Amino acid sequence: MISIIQNTESFKNPKLELEQYCIDADTTVDIIYFAGIEFNDIKNKIIFDLGSGTGRLSIASAFLGALMIISVDIDISALSILKRNISLHDLGLLINPICTDIKNLELSPRFFIKENPEITTIMNPPFGVKKKNADRPFLIKAFSFSNVIYSIHLAGEKTRNFITNFARKFNWKIDYIFPYTMRLERSFKFHTKKTKIIKVDIYRFVKNEI
């Protein structure tokens, strides 16, 4: 699967304000296997990819048996690339792109194949480097409709403490943190290196029992 993801089309003109960069193929496959194999949170589930960009997480989820995939991004040009990527692998009936601001995303029961579907959100939200707290709307929206959530955030004790407390406010908890080293490819002209290695944490969130 790594070669398939690696060969997908990336951003042509990434937008700095949206912190657009293409998640590398190794990270994509590892998080999808983490969710799909270790916890069985993909097969026959509805997958939401919030801030989907060019669709690498969406496409990888398709190969692990997702029932339906909803790829949400505010940038129509990113979704145009995503559509080309899913067309290349004949996934147009499985992956459904939606262009909207995360804050405006509303779900209708009529949209889904069956009543009370199991929903897994897998996302790589902006880290908030250029716009402070940019990841919060993604978490809030995912908390509102998901059964389980996987989300990538910068590593660090301060970040972990914040996210733990933030999730608790919405009656969610972190039941697993997967420390990971992610490789960022050169995206903008001011980047001096071809790749940059950063430390991240992959969080698995579940609802607290009432």
Number of folded domains that form the chain: 1
C-alpha 53/C-alpha 23 separation (Å) is: 9
Residue 210 has pLDDT above 90, yes or no: no
The tally of CA atoms less than 13 A away on the side-chain side of residue 173 is 5
CATH number at residue 42: 3.40.50.150
What's the pTM? 0.91
Task: Note down the domain range covering 121.
Answer: 2-207
**pLDDT tens digits along 151-160:** 999 999 999 9
The C-alpha torsion from 27 through 28 and 33 to 36, rounded to 10°, is 140
Instruction: For residue 203, give the H/E element and its range.
Output: strand 195-207
Helix ranges restricted to H, the chain: 2-6, 25-33, 56-62, 76-88, 136-145, 157-169
How much is the pLDDT for 10? 84
Closest CA to 70 of 8, 12, 142, 19: 142
- Region 103-117: mean pLDDT is 74
Handedness of CA 188, 189, 190, 195 (dihedral sign): positive
Q: Residue 47: which pLDDT band, with cuts at 50, 70 and 90?
A: very high
**pLDDT tens digits along 50-70:** 999 999 999 999 999 999 999
Sort strands 195-207 and 68-73 into parallel, antiparallel or unpaired. unpaired
Residue in the structure block whose two tokens are 């951003």: 11
Residue 117 has pLDDT above 80, yes or no: yes
Output helix, strand, coil percentages for the chain, rounded to the nearest 5: 35, 25, 40
